[in-house]
Structure 1
Amino acid sequence: MLIFEDTNRKTRRSFLIKALALFVVIVLLSNMIAFTALADVPSFVGVNYADRLSSNLRASDVKWHWARVPMIRMGALSVLKGRDKKPAPNAWVSREEAITAIVRLMGRDEDAQKINAASGRKSGIGGKRANFSQWAYGYLEVAQQEGVITKNERQGMMWQGAALRQEVAAWTARALKLTPLYGRNQEISRFSDSNKISSDYCPYLSAAIQHKIISGDGNKIRPNDPMTRAELASVLDRVKYDFPSGYEVHQGKLLSSYPLKFVDEGTSSSCTVFEIEDLNGERFNLKAEDTILNGWERTHRDFIVLKNGEVLLSYALSPGDFIEYAVKDGEVVFAEVINVSGMQIRGELMSLDEQTNTVVIKGESGRVYEYSANQNVEVSIDGRPSNIFDLVEGQEVTAKVVGGMLRGLVASSGSEPGYIAKESLNIEGRVKSVEKDDDYYNITVSLPNGREESFAVGPHTRIIKANTTQDVRDLRIGDRIIAYFSVLDKGVADRIAVAKTSTAKNILKARISGGFSNSELIIEDINRFYYGSWIKEMASGKLAVSDGATAYYCGELIDIKQLYQNHKGDYIYILNKSDFGENQAEKIVVKSGDEYSVNGEIEEIRWSEGFIETGRVEGYFGQDTLTVVGRQICDAADIDDEEDVFLITNDEGDTNRVVAMIQTEFYDSDLQFYRGYIDEITNKELSIDEYNRLEGNKWSKTRDSHKYFDFKDDVYIIDAIGKAPKHVSLDDFKKDRFEQEYYNKYTYLVTKNDKVEGILILKDEVETPSISIGELALLKDNDLQIVLNNAKDYSGFRREWNNDLTSLELDMSKALLIKGDQFIKQNDLKLKDKLYIIRNNNEVLIGIVIEE
């Protein structure tokens, strides 16, 4: 019996040892699986100040406040910090506090603190005699660098004083790089106290109102009222995710959460992992961690959670919660559980407004939905990530809406990006020709299947591009369109949606130095084409190549993947496109002979032969020619034979091959420029005498008599008769019909559709104004003096741009400045802006920012 009992004990002991070993193996395997899951999925860990911050955000002074949620969000993002550990929503915010909050939201907090750390060792920074607190120095420095505040504001403003509503609105608009709205526009004029708005801030306040960043109180905007911390939180809450360098935002559903524990040489750590699936099915992990070092030193990393209006921590999250969370530098700082009553809306995209980022969709039921679309709306076309403005008005889309907010847009292209599948009452394709026929225009379209189809455009056909109504004459060869018809015979189109085409970024010349892999080509000695010249861009780099890119050598199509093997060390010409927010090579031509570059009027073009002659250079073009018209990538057949052209050719001995043809639009073709003497001013119109009109890049040779222009509702006017140029209102200008001080004065006019939009009044005639282009290299003397690098002058006699690159120092004090469809001020110019200018020696009369 004793032997039997001893044997049984050994058996039980062996069984327990094996069971324990199996348990250890299972635990290790489960941890290995967890570690593997964590390694394969992007993870964000919480911050070490979450406990302290959550206590501050629960303060009683904000519990029932109207701005409670914005205050919590801005506090959780560490944008707006409390006073005496409380949010203090009703206290006014100082100017330096407002700037600090904006800089933090821009993602520049660390830069400001580094500046503070460096400046803290210097004397005279901050203190009793300064107009700012010592801690604010770095934030003001960053704000000035970013163009949020001006040099004059930096030096002359009392930053410890209360921030005014108009000041904060203007600073926020500048931080967002919004286009200022000059003149007395509808956004401002509807407020009864608009006359109290500073002229310096008015254009930016208008832009802020238009983008719904700030709103009025009834019929008042209260521009000079101090802004409270609650108001500041509300303003910043509306734009919190609109800064590219700020917080990164994700949305998704919490699938599950599970604990993990780790022990390693005196350090024990436990964490909770939250598995998130976003709208596109991608997985992310959020983590809250507890770590104990040396047996006693505890570190807790967590994140604020706003759920059902309560400030909590990550423990409050439950599987099934739909959350929006903000991350920065690998840390999750804030998550908000939002209404999960999401829905999908299928319908027609009616409009896209780039100014206000507004999307309007007409659902299948006929109901119209309007949503705000910030940069975090996920857009896909054919399953490929896209930009929202790559969509086309009239396109069928499916909108993903969660908690009343637009979260995603899904569209299909059928045959090409930007298009829906073809339907019986639609024609889609590329414009091949536009021909006038009495009151109608006949449009011929190349279809995706290679066939052609024609239809008519009548007086009532609506043409839409980028939410803007266009004239049929604005259609360009190569434009991608969808034409809609109400009857099957497709005679006259009811409306046409014009797609945004691939935009040409630039043309490069470089030498192949490395192999083709991962859709990239390694190149060196990289040069950028610049109006007939080559400018050194960089020594070496990688070239991203688009999926459909083509390559040519001596006019023949070659395998793009064999470029390195067959042409290592050879120079290539590259047409770069900007599509879906990424720059990629669209077409490559291998240099095949001595290069010639010329520009000027097209002296002869024979389409059947592919022959062109410009500036004493003859060449042959074809499918291999890099062709850009305006900013669009086109075919050679899209060249306008009545406009000037830049040519690059390679002499192959028996053939001079045209490598590239570029026709540049320096300014909006709808704009017209006149110069002459003011003849008469009435309440409705202006007439000029002995005038010339700018035709292309040169003034008309003959002076004509008496041309009349209507006034636009808001005309931008500069009186430069005296030593100090001044702005003049349209009402004051019209009153001159009684005093006639402007009569017989020389003037430059900016017009559109025979309506005056801008007027520059001079004391004397400018006999020989010059036309130049260049890149802005320096702003000085309160932005009234500039330096243009890579400047070129246009020769009206030879009708070409000079090849020599020079540097010009220019006076901008009296200039009419135009960017897009707006008049701007000198301090709105940015370094590296390309400018097209009309000048009298070193005085700029008209300056236009060339859009790229």
Structure 2
Amino acid sequence: MKKWISLIAILSLVFILTNSVYGENATFVYDGIPTYEALYENVKFNDIEKHWAEESIYKMASLSVIRGMGKHQFKPEERLTKEQALILLVRLLGLEGEAYTQAENSIDNKDTGKYQILTTFDYLSEGYIQTALNNNIVTQEEIDDIEELTETETEDIELETEKQMIKYERDLELTEAQLSNIENQLRQKLEKNYTWRKNVSREQVAVWVARALELTPIIGQAQQNIYNLKDWQDIDTDNLDIIEAVLQEEIMQGNTKGYFLPKSSIKRGEMAKLLDNIHEEILQNRGYKIFTGIIERIGTVYDWNNEAQLTRTVFRIENDDNTISELITRKNNEDGISVGFIGLKKGKIITSDKLEELDYIKYYVTPENEIIFAEVLNNQTTTLEGFIKDIDTDNRTITVENYDGNEFKINVSPGADIRVNNYTVELKDLLYGQEVTLNISKGSVIDIDGYLDTGEEGYIHPGERIFIGKVLYKNLEDNELTLLDNQKEKTFIVDPYTPVIKNDSNVGLEGIKEGDIVRLEFDEHNSNMPIKLYVSEPDRQYENLFKATVADFNPSRNQILLKDVSHYDNTEWIEDNKNIILPLNYDTDIYIDGKGINKQYLDSYIGREAYIVTEDNFGKEEALKIVFKNGYEKQYYNSVQNIAFGDRKITVDYNQVYFDDSTIIIKDDKLIHPYNLKEDDDVFVVSHGMDTYTAAFISVEGIEDNVYIVYRGRMDEIGQYNFELDNYDILKGTEWDYNSKQTEFNISDDTKIIDTRDKEVKEVSVKEFTNSRFLKEDDKDNYYREYAYAVEYNDMIIAMNIIDDNDEAQVVTTGKVDTLDKINSRITLDDIRDWSDFEDKWIVNTSKVTLDVSDAIFIKNGKVVTINDISEGNSLYILRENDDGYIVIVR
């Protein structure tokens, strides 16, 4: 009787402890699995320590996706076969049951006497391959191709079969029919070694993975990555579109040298990493639950059952989705039966008893609601460096702009360590514009390190005071730069010798464009002259402009589904004929009828057409602004006749179009402010409305004036560091002017001179050029009275191209580099605009143009370069005659 009273008391205590320590409203309770100890032993590999894929191997093995090779060996450097690759994908998809059924159906029950030729694994292999075929991972065409044998392979198999048959033919108990069945099965077994047990290529794995994930092939201009690979031509043409999808999903990528190596084999360690990249969504589709949260409390209670002591441990998890989970493990010390789970901590495999309070974990729950694996994420702290843009002490948030001009608004943990000059301060003590380093864990700031100068008043350490803003105007004559920050204009004086750094190059004030985000550094508190400028925004501030129907909104994944999609390209809408799933930015602007709305109301506008501009957010394309179409659409392409900023309207083609905060305005691939619009700008306008029309989108088709002046004329005099041109033409921006006067120009030892009069381009030193005045007048190397193009920059001729008299460029062209053939000196351009003197505007050229630039001078950032310094995607300004380029300037 006392034993029962004791048991009841203990059970009551367990109940009280459970409800008091862990709370009455726990949302989920998950038990461990009874096989966790065996699983733990199976994944304790002794050959993967310090291997680059060690954590992925442990994780995939713990989730029973990939298995070892026996004797605690994983063999991460062993090559993967075609057979093994399909088995892993089928297993990850949870189709093992189907594979076993297919294996049973493939069993060959023919009489082979007392011998078993085909093993269980041979039949399982057939089952996995058939399952992969049934689920569209592999095609019948690929199977046929893999199983096709060469004449030599067939001969080798027959020789090996005959060799092995000798043993069986000596067995006089076997009948002819049994020997025939043995021979056929031997041949079948040997064929596997020449087909499915050959190494699988990276390209083949990429294709099979894409099908397993049901990725949509990416075609046309949406292809962003495939052509950046140096060996993309080695990929089968039929596979380019689907591998592009794999690259964009960051499932696979090229190596550090830019090669994909499509025909190379893949290793077991590499496959483990690949499976790690794709497993989460697949497991969730199979019914797994994946949570992240912090272990708030670990409680242990002891119980007795039939004299056996039972240890029960409860891990209380506060999940990131504001739910609570209790993970239960049990151990029976009497009979050894227990349930639990394994995990990964600091890169090593562990059992659940090694977890600690305050560990931040990601854990996996099976469809049977059993906890199987937990990964400790404590060591995954990220660092953010930049400048404070805003502090909200009430909500404990800080907004920081990093050095690339991107803003991040982050919660500050209540226990965060905040220091300035190594002194502890409070959040309210931090200053706007102050440079800080944040350490972030679990989505919150855990410490802040800031710095302030304590030197004499007026002078500060260079770079301590900064100003960040968007370029509104630049005035090269007065060396002024006007920035816009929080809708306030501020003008700065930029000394001609002040460094202006863009992509690690000093580009000068001329290299800054309207719409650029720049960071100015000062060495005095009240100075209006920065000591250094950084152009911190990439050349392209937006990724795509779509017109599409918003078909669905998934708030849990923060993404929208677009259908009937078209993208903007060179004053045209190009139909994509596909659906797009597009993530939203953390602060995506959404407008309906010119008014901003919260994304939680997106459900109310499903089925409506919208204009969507996107940006590349660390390799992930996200919606930056969504403008729902309201009424009918009209399009205009002409010069701006009038702008009324007060009334917020422009006149194009004698039509008045309004603009507001919802209007998307771009120029030179950048999002710009309405103040950057100017009269006489050539613009493409898409407006919508009923009685009055508002611009959804304005694209400024013109370009900024070129800072380089190009001359074409005849050289009449050559001096030591100068020469004269007579009867020359001047190209400033787009306009050619004629000058009949002789004018002197300066050159230096840095001037680049080439002679393109013959088939072979000849480089001419400045000394050879100036000394040519002492040669006879009819000497070919005397450049007196020869014609030349000369490029002037900052009152100095930086480059000359000596040409034949009949070589005369006809067209000024701008465009983006689509492809480069550096060996044959050819550039193919896209997004082309040709200047028309007759129409006095840029004419859009919708076709691609390939130019021969073997006789061209290349200029970039004020310096003469070569075609090797040109990259795909560069914007170029080119002076050309038909398909021959003479002057190529990187804009």
Aligned residue for 1:141, secondary structure, equals helix
Superposed, 1:804-843 pairs within 5 Å as: none
Aligned residue for 1:381, secondary structure, equals strand
CA distance in 2, matches of 1:48, 1:766: 82
Aligned residue for 2:204, secondary structure, equals helix
Find 1:630's aligned residue among 668, 681, 700.
668
Distance verdict in 2 for CA 1:613–1:349, change over 3 Å: closer
Superposed, 1:368-387 pairs within 5 Å as: 380-383=408-411
Partner of 1:319: 356
Q: Once the 2 structures are TM-superposed, how far is the Cα of residue 150 of structure 1 from its aligned partner?
A: 3.7
Find 2:202's aligned residue among 136, 139, 144.
139
Counterpart code for 2:144: K
Q: Once the 2 structures are TM-superposed, how far is the Cα of residue 646 of structure 1 from its aligned partner?
A: 1.8
Find 2:46's aligned residue among 44, 52, 58.
58
Asked if residue 458 in structure 1 is aligned to residue 495 in structure 2, the reply is yes
For structure 2, the 5+ residue unaligned runs are 96-127, 154-193, 211-224, 237-249, 282-289, 303-309, 389-401, 414-431, 451-462, 716-720, 773-778
Aligned residue for 1:637, secondary structure, equals helix
CA distance in 1, matches of 2:363, 2:301: 23
User: What's the CA shift string for 1:267-321, capped at 9, x where partnerless?
Assistant: xx9998877899x9999999899999xx9999997456667xxx65336735279
Q: Once the 2 structures are TM-superposed, how far is the Cα of residue 658 of structure 1 from its aligned partner?
A: 4.5
Aligned residue for 2:200, secondary structure, equals helix
CA distance in 1, matches of 2:662, 2:12: 69
Aligned residue for 1:383, secondary structure, equals strand
- Rg larger in structure: 2
User: What's the CA shift string for 1:569-624, capped at 9, x where partnerless?
Assistant: 8765555556685633536365455613214x556656667665556766555556
CA distance in 1, matches of 2:362, 2:553: 41
Asked if residue 398 in structure 1 is aligned to residue 386 in structure 2, the reply is no
Asked whether the 8 Å contact 1:50–1:303 carries over to 2, the reply is: no
Distance verdict in 2 for CA 1:513–1:532, change over 3 Å: same
Partner of 1:586: 625
CA distance in 1, matches of 2:694, 2:835: 26
Partner of 1:549: 589
Distance verdict in 2 for CA 1:636–1:244, change over 3 Å: farther
Partner of 1:489: 526
Asked whether the 8 Å contact 1:349–1:394 carries over to 2, the reply is: yes
Partner of 2:144: 122
Counterpart code for 1:383: N
For structure 1, the 5+ residue unaligned runs are 1-8, 156-172, 181-200, 209-225, 262-268, 351-372, 386-392, 413-422, 723-727
Aligned residue for 1:503, secondary structure, equals coil
Distance verdict in 2 for CA 1:318–1:486, change over 3 Å: same
Asked whether the 8 Å contact 1:93–1:227 carries over to 2, the reply is: no
Asked whether the 8 Å contact 1:675–1:691 carries over to 2, the reply is: yes
User: What's the CA shift string for 1:301-349, capped at 9, x where partnerless?
Assistant: 7456667xxx653367352797998999999989689989x9x999867
Asked if residue 663 in structure 1 is aligned to residue 703 in structure 2, the reply is no
Asked if residue 648 in structure 1 is aligned to residue 691 in structure 2, the reply is no
Partner of 1:531: 570
Asked whether the 8 Å contact 1:646–1:663 carries over to 2, the reply is: yes
TM-score (norm 1): 0.50
Distance verdict in 2 for CA 1:532–1:271, change over 3 Å: farther
Aligned residue for 1:137, secondary structure, equals coil
CA distance in 2, matches of 1:730, 1:44: 76
Superposed, 1:792-803 pairs within 5 Å as: 797-798=838-839
Aligned residue for 1:583, secondary structure, equals strand
CA distance in 2, matches of 1:568, 1:524: 11
Q: Once the 2 structures are TM-superposed, how far is the Cα of residue 122 of structure 1 from its aligned partner?
A: 2.0
Counterpart code for 1:489: N
Aligned residue for 2:697, secondary structure, equals strand
Partner of 1:388: none
CA distance in 1, matches of 2:511, 2:58: 49
User: What's the CA shift string for 1:32-56, capped at 9, x where partnerless?
Assistant: 9799465699x9999999656645x
User: What's the CA shift string for 1:184-209, capped at 9, x where partnerless?
Assistant: xxxxxxxxxxxxxxxxx7xx49x99x
Superposed, 1:79-478 pairs within 5 Å as: 121-122=143-144, 134-142=197-205, 150=231, 176=253, 204=258, 302-303=342-343, 312-314=349-351, 317-319=354-356, 380-383=408-411, 396-400=435-439, 427=467, 430-435=470-475, 440-441=479-480, 443-445=481-483, 448=486, 453-459=490-496, 461-463=498-500, 469=506, 471-476=508-513
Q: Once the 2 structures are TM-superposed, how far is the Cα of residue 139 of structure 1 from its aligned partner?
A: 3.1
Asked whether the 8 Å contact 2:59–2:344 carries over to 1, the reply is: no
CA distance in 2, matches of 1:618, 1:849: 37
Asked whether the 8 Å contact 2:436–2:448 carries over to 1, the reply is: yes
Partner of 1:503: 541
Q: Once the 2 structures are TM-superposed, how far is the Cα of residue 710 of structure 1 from its aligned partner?
A: 9.2
Distance verdict in 2 for CA 1:644–1:384, change over 3 Å: farther
CA distance in 1, matches of 2:514, 2:137: 53
Asked whether the 8 Å contact 1:510–1:572 carries over to 2, the reply is: yes
Counterpart code for 1:588: V
Distance verdict in 2 for CA 1:772–1:760, change over 3 Å: farther
CA distance in 2, matches of 1:686, 1:275: 84
Distance verdict in 2 for CA 1:151–1:522, change over 3 Å: closer
Distance verdict in 2 for CA 1:686–1:149, change over 3 Å: farther
Partner of 1:370: none
Aligned residue for 1:136, secondary structure, equals coil
User: What's the CA shift string for 1:156-214, capped at 9, x where partnerless?
Assistant: xxxxxxxxxxxxxxxxx996458x9xxxxxxxxxxxxxxxxxxxx7xx49x99xxxxxx
Counterpart code for 1:586: K
Counterpart code for 2:634: E
Counterpart code for 1:137: V
Superposed, 1:638-787 pairs within 5 Å as: 638-639=676-677, 641=679, 644-649=682-687, 658-663=695-700
Partner of 2:635: 596
Distance verdict in 2 for CA 1:707–1:614, change over 3 Å: farther
Counterpart code for 2:199: A
Asked whether the 8 Å contact 1:686–1:708 carries over to 2, the reply is: yes
Asked whether the 8 Å contact 1:629–1:638 carries over to 2, the reply is: no
User: What's the CA shift string for 1:435-457, capped at 9, x where partnerless?
Assistant: 4575x53x455554x66555433
Aligned residues: 677
Asked whether the 8 Å contact 1:275–1:284 carries over to 2, the reply is: yes
Distance verdict in 2 for CA 1:462–1:651, change over 3 Å: same
Asked whether the 8 Å contact 1:527–1:535 carries over to 2, the reply is: yes
Asked whether the 8 Å contact 1:510–1:526 carries over to 2, the reply is: yes
CA distance in 2, matches of 1:685, 1:326: 74
Counterpart code for 1:122: D
Counterpart code for 1:397: V
